[in-house]
Amino acid sequence: MKNKHRRRLKPIPFLILVLVLTIFGFLIYKGVSKKSPTLKKEQQNNIINKLSKLDYKKDEIEDLQDELSDENINFLVSKEIKRDDFIDIYNDKYYIDQYMTKYIEYKSKHNDYSSREIVERVNTHADEAFYTNTEASNEKLDKFVIANKHYYLSSSYTAPDLTEFDPLYSLYGATYKNELSEEAMSHFIELFNQAISEGYGIKINSAYRSYQTQNKLYNNYVSSDGVKLADTYSARPGYSEHQTGYAFDVRNVPNTKDDFEDSKEFDWMQENAHKYGFFLRFPKGKEEITGYQYESWHYRYCGIECATYIHDTKITFEEYYEYFIRYHNPRNIK
């Protein structure tokens, strides 16, 4: 009986196998790569057609596709947001793409507001009730750190270079200990000396306050005036500008007035404070944004570039912070 041997195939050399797999993978890749641009182009054309039906112009559609996130483009299309309900908001120079849906929602509830008002309120979180949906402030921002009725500081926060300053610059001399950020104080000394040389006297009335100090102060105001009224002129603990170490109140000297606005020093500060990095923190007419009554005596340090921009454009620090600090100057305004 003959032995039957099954014929064994010779193994495919390893290099040939690699070559076959490489060619096969390349063919698959080519097939996919040929389809992808076509699919993408079809999607783009679909979006363009839908935006056109919503009355957006050709050049506007091109701008939207360049500047808006894919998510927000899809939102405009899926929710059928017409041109008249969005384009003026988009064209506002302080438009922030991350807040697009909030703008549109706020406009639907406040159709009588201008696009400028809508963007301003949403950017500064004034579209929500004060002290609701609050966020922890970024405490590593130094002179750009923010504390208001939306952003709060921890009870342990103090300015990184907090320093006790010379009683010469304090309204009360050595009677009370006064502290301020070293950077802010060095610029205030320059301001102080220049004001003196021009015949003006300006001293600090109140500077840094700890969380604990603000807590006592605020509770005293609540005891005497109630929460609603106290909230118009005093910050809750953790939400106070004074805790940043970059804010302070001033008075004119030697004839101190109860209302700083009635002094010649106030006029001088309006013209010169920004040259040293300071700005009026709670301006008149911005109460709905800042959440506080107008305070002619309360100044904040943020550096010369920042303070000059705020002085020249008349925006609040709230809006400056959102646009230039939190979202890093998205449209590159100079």
pLDDT in tens, 70-92: 999 999 999 999 999 999 999 99
List the one residue out of 157, 165, 160, 158 whose CA is nearest residue 187: 165
List the one residue out of 120, 121, 124 whose CA is nearest residue 94: 120
Q: Which residues contact 291 (CB under 8 A, 6 or more apart)?
A: 126, 130, 148, 149, 231, 232
Statement: residue 37 has pLDDT above 90: no
List the one residue out of 168, 175, 190 whose CA is nearest residue 301: 190
Comparison of pLDDT for 22 and 299, the residue scoring more: 299
Q: Which of 28-42, 119-133, 135-149, 183-197 has the lowest mean pLDDT?
A: 28-42
CB distance 204 to 178 below 8 Å: yes
The residue ranges of every structural domain in the chain are: 42-123, 135-326
Catalytic residue check, 295:
yes
User: Residue 35's pLDDT is what?
Assistant: 41
Which listed residue (183, 295, 319, 322) is catalytic? 295
User: Residue 23's pLDDT is what?
Assistant: 58
Tell me: the pLDDT tens digits for 144-172?
A: 999 999 999 999 998 889 999 999 999 99
Tell me: the pLDDT tens digits for 230-269?
A: 999 999 999 999 999 999 999 999 878 778 999 999 999 9
List the one residue out of 63, 256, 235, 66 whose CA is nearest residue 152: 235
Question: Span 135-326: which CATH code?
Answer: 3.30.1380.10
